[in-house]
Amino acid sequence: MSEPSDTSVVVLYPNVSGYTGGLITDYYLAISPGHVGIEITPVPSSGDPEGHLSTLRRQLSLPPSAYIVHHSHDLPTTPITIGDSVVATNGTGSDRVSDERFYDPPLTPSSAYTLFVVVQSVVEASAETSPTRTFFFNTLPPSTSARTQVLVAAVLALLFALTIFLVAYFFYRRRKRQESSKVLNNYFSFRPNRDTKEISTIEDAKLDALPKSYAAWSLPSGKRDPRFLIIDPTKGPDSTLLGTKSIDEVAASFKREFDSLPTGRIMPHSVGLKTLNRYKNRSEQSLPYDHSRVKLKRSLNSPENDYINASFVDGYMRRKAYIAAQSPFNATTAADFWVMIFQCNVSQIVMLTNQIEGGAVCCTKYWPEVEQERTYDEAIGGSSNTKVERQYDSLLVLALDSTDYANFTVRRFQVSDVTSGAVQLVSQYHYHDWQPRRFCPSGRWHRRGSQADRIRNRAAAAAEELVDFDCLAFIDFYFHVVTTRRPEDGPLLVHCEEGVSRTSVFLAFDMLLQQFLTEHSVSVARLCASMRRARPNMIPTSRHYALLYDLLYEAGIGGQSLIDLNVRSVLKSLLRRNLALGITYLTEQWFLLHNFTPPLDRRTDSLSALASINVAKNRFPNILDLLPPDRFRPRLPPNYHSLDLPADYINAVYLDTVGLRDDLILTQTPLRSTVLDFWRMVFEERVSCIVDVEPSCYGSEDAVRYWPVSQADHQDSLISEDLADFHATTFPFDLADAEVVEALDALPDETSKSPSVGALGPWVQFGDFQLCQVGDLSPVLSSPTGSESKSKRRSCIFRRRLIIRKVDKSSLAKPPDSRTVQVFHFKGRWNEEGQIPAARAQFVRLLEVVRLERGLGPTIIHCLDGGTKSGLFAASYILVERITRDLFVDVFHTIKALKLRRRAVIGSAIQLRFLYRVLIDWVDMTIEKPLRRQQTAYPITFVRDPLLSTIHDAHSSGLLSSTPSHHSLASIGDSSACLHRGEETAAAGINMSNSMSAVYRPPRRNIVLYRYFSEELSKLMRSGQACFSPADAMGLEGQTMNCTVRSPRWRSRDRVSQGDLIV
């Protein structure tokens, strides 16, 4: 009997196995108010069946107040409710009519009752009845029922109100989504001839699962069928290779794939639910399955068990290739974490979360940090050697070094077991840009955006919607992880907060990229389903699912993009002619870079640049490729202008270098009206170096000289003949107030009073700033090893030094805040047709000088339009930094990351070819040549596999991932091998070092070639139905265009047949 309520009670029919009166044919339950006893004794067998009904109550020994509430011919096996006004009986209708007490009314609250249990055996004309068993119980008082009714009513009302709110919120979000969904095509306008309003009709669920690169993927016929990457290199995303399929059909196909994944906990996970292990889990939603969990080996006297919240995951070609784990959140889980690392022979840890995100602790600091005070050079490529160790149980973890990149950090540890003496080296790759810099300004003077931006940022951060996820930064991080992986290493350990969402994206991307480069297709749904059988809730949302396709698109479109130190062999392969297209592979690579970099959208991306008050600040306002996106432009402080004229805009964009964010600023040469804004940006961004790559532009397109001179005006004619015309090309500076200058100079100022700075020129005043030149304009040696006088005569690089200080006239007793800025002018002649310098050796020398002498602050690079020539220098600077530090470089994705911020960067295949030749010169003069002088063999060998440019022996040799800066080797000598002109032929560039001994040359390899996988597409190509524009950026003639299914594959042959076309 259960606990009675106020009006009913639930009972189970008691056991009557001891009855010996014969076969039981009837089972009764009766009830009587009050606690009463049995008043009628059982009657003997009767041969009168007709009197059975009239004597039933007497035969059952029931008191007069009792009434039968249950009757059945079979033993009841289910609970029986007494007081529910329903009499359970198998009797006839006459039974109920003949006895008015045969009913089951609700019980009275706060009352005592007696329950009677009787069984009967009726055989032919005789009936035997068992002794009556009694049970007593009391119903609850009515107040309890009233409170229950009030509580139920309140809960129902609350649920009703919540339902109304959720329905209203759903329609509100749907309307907002429909309004904002039109922006989806800003990234890829794959079908410009189709009405873009069509996408606003797609359901929210479909839209979440739709990748930005949706039109680059084939449309499968089944949920688990593979997809192919389909692109047209010369036409870009405007092609219609998917035919007439609507966007809704494409979105529905991705949604069907995601919905086909198994949901919930589909495997046993009892170990994680044990009471002993619950405190080791962050959430019950990420408990490991019993069959795939990692089991720790414990000693017999250890108080801990073998449990840790981590799961083995099978890889593409290897079982238990990965460990997916939650992040440690206390000392106990951190100790278990290191035990797992040591016992499973883990050599690489991938950390995809920050310690604190959104105000919540996502991961405890389970590693010892290297104590160091890093200079700028160390931040770029080196690290100090102050080592710190920490002990976790019997394991001693020693921090060896730490190397910072723009979006991640690489740390190396030595793990040793104090009991056995075993030692293991472990590298941690900490990606800390999963939640990217969104729409808020990145200027150093403040970090606040508009109210709309802040609302959007909070909404995106609250639910990890992956808005503006930086796929290129993630791919760069991924390449740094996989290029140091060795076959003998244990599983790759990947963890995020719960070891589910971000972890699953990394693991799935790694396996799918291997599948793509091996099978030329991807089966995302099939792989995600397999991962969910290894650990619950992997790829938890449709947005994570769509992100996988975007990452695969970005990685797949670049093909085999990693390049080792053998850049010369890469360029030789790229300069071969593509027989299918009639152009070189280098030109095709540029088409992919330029055409698949989305242009700015006037409505969303460049609102500030196109605002009416800012249009005049752009030299070429009608060219969108030369305007800065709002997400990446510096913001000037508003307090320097009146309130009615907001002036935070300047035509400039931030660029990330290998080790620092926003380390370069790309901008146009100042206009007459923007000189003040230019110097405001220099001061507020703490710029220490300015690179002027086009001094010949002064006097044209309103380009003015933005610096004061020291002594004689004719000095500027050394860098540009146009500057000899003082009135035409000089901003009209006003001399600063002599009394103010005298008062400021009397204050202690180490910058301006240092005896080594040289003579100070006159101070000029503009706005709140004063500016003067220190010393004279001086040439930079063209070669540090040659004759000084000869090098100065041949030099194309000039240096000047300036001091800028901010003056507060209301408080002249306070020392001014001053900055020292170096300006490098590159006087070299430019080939205007190809936008490349004629003297490549001097250009490489400029890279070396700027890299070594730029100072601690950001560097501004400017040319007339702020993109073509300055972008070439910025791209060269970043590429040589990367190859110097890592000994490999991803040229394709590095350039694309720059073009996403300034699309005009690398605007032709000629500039792209120049970049490769700059890399060749840099490697020859900064790495190979010093090694030859030291009689040292080539330091690293690259052996390619079908997946990536896997670097063997790099980890053991210490040359990768934590390589110190090669500043000591970065010296460009006066070598004829470096003096190549822009008009040189490809053969001359390739044969520039044939005299070099083969022992110092890395092994040659072929560049990535591509082939078609669809017979229908091959027929389409041969029929010439798809053609590109009559003239491309290289001035090519109109040619027949072949659509391409991009699937990188290493090949050794040069000739192809019609049945196996390559692009």
Percent of the chain scored above 90 by pLDDT? Answer: 38
* DSSP for 683-697, written as a single string: HHTT--EEEES-GGG
Of 895, 406, 962, whose CA–CA distance to 657 is shortest?
406
Q: Which residue has the tokens 């103010």?
A: 740
Of 409, 552, 408, 542, whose CA–CA distance to 471 is shortest?
552
Residues 6+ apart with CB under 8 A from 40: 57, 58, 61, 62, 63
* DSSP for 791-850, written as a single string: HHHH--EEEEEEEEEE--GGGTTSPPEEEEEEEEEE---EETTTTEES-HHHHHHHHHHH
**749 and 821 belong to one structural domain:** yes
| pLDDT in the model for residue 740 | 60
The Cα–Cα gap between 471 and 553 comes to 10
Decide if 1043 contacts 241 (C-beta within 8 A). yes
Q: Does residue 547 form part of some domain?
A: no
**681 and 585 belong to one structural domain:** no
Task: Indicate the number of domains in the chain.
Answer: 6
**Where does a domain end: 982, 1003, 1024?**
1003
**775 and 844 belong to one structural domain:** yes
Of 138, 110, 127, whose CA–CA distance to 31 is shortest?
138
Of 878, 880, 879, 869, whose CA–CA distance to 906 is shortest?
869
Mean pLDDT of 742-759: 55
Output b/e per residue, 992-1011; b: 16+ Cβ within 10 A: beeeeeeebebeebbbbbbb
The Cα–Cα gap between 1048 and 620 comes to 39
477-491, 650-664, 961-975: segment of lowest average pLDDT: 961-975
180-189, 685-694, 1043-1052: segment of lowest average pLDDT: 1043-1052
Of 683, 648, 183, whose CA–CA distance to 442 is shortest?
648
Residue span of the structural domain in which 713 resides: 621-866
Decide if 804 contacts 682 (C-beta within 8 A). yes
**66 and 181 belong to one structural domain:** no
CA distances from 426 to 293, 409, 484, 885 (A): 22, 14, 11, 20
292-301, 826-835, 917-926, 1041-1050: segment of lowest average pLDDT: 1041-1050
Backbone dihedral angles phi then psi of residue 1037, each to the nearest 5 degrees: -75, 160
Q: Which residue has the tokens 């293991």?
A: 424
How do strand 689-692 and strand 817-826 relate by DSSP bridges?
Answer: parallel
Q: Does residue 280 form part of some domain?
A: yes
**325 and 444 belong to one structural domain:** no
| pLDDT in the model for residue 786 | 57
Of 436, 435, 365, 434, whose CA–CA distance to 402 is shortest?
365
* Reported confidence tier of residue 133, pLDDT bands at 50, 70, 90: confident
Q: How many CB atoms lie within 10 A of CB 725?
A: 12
**61 and 112 belong to one structural domain:** yes
| pLDDT in the model for residue 387 | 67
CA end-to-end distance (rounded Å), the chain: 81
| pLDDT in the model for residue 693 | 94
* Reported confidence tier of residue 20, pLDDT bands at 50, 70, 90: confident
Q: Does residue 695 form part of some domain?
A: yes
CATH number at residue 375: 3.90.190.10
Q: Which residue has the tokens 């960067």?
A: 905
619 has pLDDT over 60: yes
Strands (E), 405-491: 408-417, 423-431
CA distances from 693 to 584, 615, 689, 774, 830 (A): 29, 24, 13, 21, 10
**893 and 860 belong to one structural domain:** no
**908 and 962 belong to one structural domain:** yes
Decide if 426 contacts 348 (C-beta within 8 A). yes
Q: How many CB atoms lie within 10 A of CB 106?
A: 14
Of 332, 334, 286, whose CA–CA distance to 310 is shortest?
286
The Cα–Cα gap between 393 and 347 comes to 19
| pLDDT in the model for residue 96 | 40
Q: List, for residues 232-248, the tens digit of each pLDDT value.
A: 777 767 655 556 678 88
**399 and 346 belong to one structural domain:** yes
Q: Which residue has the tokens 């004279």?
A: 776
128-137, 341-350, 426-435, 949-958: segment of lowest average pLDDT: 949-958
**412 and 276 belong to one structural domain:** yes
Of 413, 420, 455, 415, whose CA–CA distance to 438 is shortest?
455
Q: List, for residues 437-474, the tens digit of each pLDDT value.
A: 544 444 444 443 444 444 444 444 444 567 788 999 99
48 has pLDDT over 80: no
Give me the count of residues in the chain: 1063
Output b/e per residue, 683-719; b: 16+ Cβ within 10 A: bbbebbbbbbbbbbbbbeeebbbbbbbbeeeebbebb
Q: Does residue 602 form part of some domain?
A: no
CA distances from 980 to 573, 843, 916 (A): 20, 11, 13
Put the strands of the sheet holding 388-392 in their side by side order.
310-313, 322-326, 492-496, 348-351, 423-431, 408-417, 395-404, 388-392
Q: List, for residues 387-397, the tens digit of each pLDDT value.
A: 688 999 889 99
| pLDDT in the model for residue 177 | 58
| pLDDT in the model for residue 977 | 32
The single-letter code of the amino acid at 299 is: S
**Where does a domain end: 498, 519, 550?**
498
Q: Does residue 1042 form part of some domain?
A: no
Strands (E), 842-971: 859-863, 889-890
Q: List, for residues 864-899, the tens digit of each pLDDT value.
A: 999 999 999 999 999 999 999 999 999 999 999 999
Q: Does residue 964 form part of some domain?
A: yes
**364 and 446 belong to one structural domain:** no
**403 and 482 belong to one structural domain:** yes
Mean pLDDT of 19-42: 76
Q: Does residue 41 form part of some domain?
A: yes
Q: Does residue 504 form part of some domain?
A: no
**Where does a domain end: 75, 107, 140?**
140
Mean pLDDT of 553-559: 90
Q: List, for residues 794-837, the tens digit of each pLDDT value.
A: 678 999 999 998 887 666 667 778 899 999 999 988 987 878 99
1036 has pLDDT over 60: no
